[in-house]
């Protein structure tokens, strides 16, 4: 199962800047106060949905070796029903099972890897591979112009996220979002997920 070319893997293995790592650590520290303890877990069931907060919480829980992460991950596994369908979005071919949410899928991929370390399952490794394949398909080949090789979707339908590169009207007001603008340049979980999936599945395949 070939997830990444050597070129993509080399790009994925680039380390995050120190300040991005510090930002991620701060997020995780904040989330620790939100994770219910074992004694109150049953009384404080998490709100299940597909949004950045839930995806990040899934990763934080899985990394802390909590099986509660599976509850957060489950809604995303429904997306894999669209695998391996490819759709056209603004003239670009995109994997339907990513649903324009590359950043959330990256966090879920990282969470799945951590869960599989706790409880190895062939089906879970297949899910990791499928999500990683979708993320790899979203990489823009041109690294010299916008969006500079980012793994991002051209789906601009999400109105809840601020535009990274807004299109302004003549008066300077935001008119719309530029295609491919929905990504966080300061902390690329997509790159981290691709590198982690490639590394982990090289080990995991021996146990399938």
CA 207 remoteness from chain centre: 25
Instruction: Kindly tell me the burial class for residue 142, based on how many C-beta atoms sit within 10 Å of its own C-beta (0-12, 13-18, 19 or more).
Output: exposed
Q: Judge whether residue 46 has pLDDT over 60.
A: no
pLDDT at 97 over 70: yes
> Tokens 């007001």 belong to which residue?
173
Among 44, 46, 45, 43, smallest CA distance to 55 is for: 46
DSSP label at 145? Answer: S
Could you give the percent of the chain with pLDDT greater than 70?
57
- Looking at residue 32, its pLDDT comes to 53
Which residue is associated with the tokens 């959330």? 104
Q: Smallest Cα–Cα separation from 49: which of 182, 150, 155, 160? A: 160
The whole-angstrom distance between residue 99's C-alpha and the CA centroid of its chain comes to: 11
Secondary structure (3-state) at 51: coil
**Confidence check: pLDDT of 157 > 80:** no
- Domain boundaries along the sequence of the chain: 6-38+47-152+187-207
- Count CA within 13 A, CB hemisphere, residue 187: 15
Q: How many residues does the chain have?
A: 208
Which whole number is the average pLDDT over 155-166? 50
Interacting residues of 102 by C-beta distance below 8 A, sequence separation 6+: 135, 138, 151, 152, 153, 183, 190
Interior/surface letters 80-103, b for 16+ CB within 10 angstroms, e for the rest: eeebeeeeebeeeebbbbbbbbbb
Q: What are the tens digits of pLDDT across the range 48-72?
A: 789 988 999 999 999 999 999 999 9
pLDDT tens sequence across 197-207: 999 998 545 44
What is the model's pLDDT at position 151? 73
Kindly give the residue spans of alpha helices, DSSP state H, lying in 82-156. Answer: 102-118, 122-137
Q: Is 90 exceeded by the pLDDT of residue 19?
A: no
Nearest residue to 11 via CA among 199, 193, 202, 191: 191
Contact 201, 1 (CB under 8 A): yes
pTM listed for this prediction: 0.67
pLDDT above 90: residue 88: no
């Amino acid at each position: 199962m070939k997830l990444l070319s050597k070129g993509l893997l080399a790009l994925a293995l680039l380390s995050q800047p120190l300040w991005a790592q510090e930002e991620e650590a701060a997020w995780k520290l904040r989330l620790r106060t939100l994770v219910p303890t074992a004694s109150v877990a049953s009384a404080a069931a998490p709100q299940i949905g597909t949004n950045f907060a839930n995806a990040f919480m899934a990763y934080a829980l899985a990394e802390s070796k909590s099986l509660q992460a599976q509850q957060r991950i489950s809604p995303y596994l429904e997306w894999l029903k669209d695998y391996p369908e490819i759709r056209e979005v603004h003239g670009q071919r995109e994997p339907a099972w990513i649903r324009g949410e590359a950043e959330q899928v990256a966090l879920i991929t990282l969470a799945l890897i951590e869960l599989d370390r706790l409880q190895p399952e062939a089906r879970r490794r297949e899910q990791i591979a499928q999500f990683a394949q979708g993320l790899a398909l979203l990489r823009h080949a041109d690294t010299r112009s916008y969006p500079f090789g980012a793994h991002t979707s051209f789906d601009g339908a999400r109105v809840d996220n601020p535009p990274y590169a807004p299109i302004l009207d003549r008066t300077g007001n935001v008119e719309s979002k530029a295609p491919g603008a929905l990504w966080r340049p300061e902390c690329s979980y997509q790159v981290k997920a691709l590198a982690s999936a490639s590394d982990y599945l090289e080990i995991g395949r021996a146990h399938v």
